[in-house]
Structure 1
């Protein structure tokens, strides 16, 4: 479904002559094709929505890293271009959880697993990431765990 939605958005971007959006959408589809090739599957196959979300998240992370690098290098023109691309990518990602929501789940999980020592951060972090995969940013989960057991 998501792959079809991306193709429809691509058609609309072509008609509206939105070159940056079109470039981003083509990049997503190319990354999907590359993923199929890497998995030794036929390129005509369709990826599941979950697989596409993982790919788009990877592309978004690359944009975030590029923004940091360009900002450190003083290239504000490129920072703005990457931010624009990141906004288009975020349209295809699920909404991420807020830290407050993560903290509530972390407290419940910590109490269930009876964890209290700072040395047990990894155990809690692993359990939370398994539950929150694709729903929360890893650095937010880490910050909550560090705050609780740090």
Structure 2
């Protein structure tokens, strides 16, 4: 039998959390599953692992932004909820890349794409994105790529 997809594993975890009566975890996993379902309905596709990782990465980023806004507004209880959701969602993402690994990927992509100028940055990003999706902040990747191209 084939490997269960990320979506299937999250759904199984949801069922387990429901049986264990873990209310907070159930709520977060339901948010994730509802996002998958929304994409499937809107775009009439099945969410594969690559798309699931992209969605999870986006959800983490949204929650980080919300957490910062709550902290700035002095709403620590809401910021704590966002932090909990981040930790639950991040558990499904692959391990983060180290700075050295990220630099190696960026350098290799620049060489593979034959990019020498900033205006061709998109070619390198197209090679980098599938390799780092869910494992690195794309904003940081972009900064690193710009720094390498401006030298």
Range into which the TM-score falls when normalised by the shorter chain: 0.7 to 0.9
In the superposition, the TM-score normalised over structure 2's length comes to: 0.79
Aligned residue-pair number: 146
Contact preservation (8 Å) 2:113, 2:123: no
CA distance in structure 1 between the aligned counterparts of 2:110 and 2:47, rounded to whole angstroms: 35
Match of 2:83 in 1: 83
Unaligned runs of 5+ in 2: none
* Cα pair 1:71 1:79 within 8 Å, conserved: yes
**CA spacing shift, 1:103–1:14, aligned 2, 3 Å:** same
Aligned to 1:29: 33
Distance apart, 1:61 and its partner CA: 1.7
Q: Which residue of 2 aligns with 1:5?
A: 9
2:149 corresponding residue in structure 1 = 149
Distance in 2 between residues matched to 1:105 and 1:145, nearest whole Å: 10
Q: Is structure 2 residue 128 aligned with structure 1 residue 128?
A: yes
What is the TM-score normalised by the length of structure 1? 0.80
Q: What is the Cα-based RMSD across aligned positions, in Å?
A: 2.4
Structure 1 unaligned segments of length 5 or more: list them: none
CA distance in 2, matches of 1:4, 1:37: 17
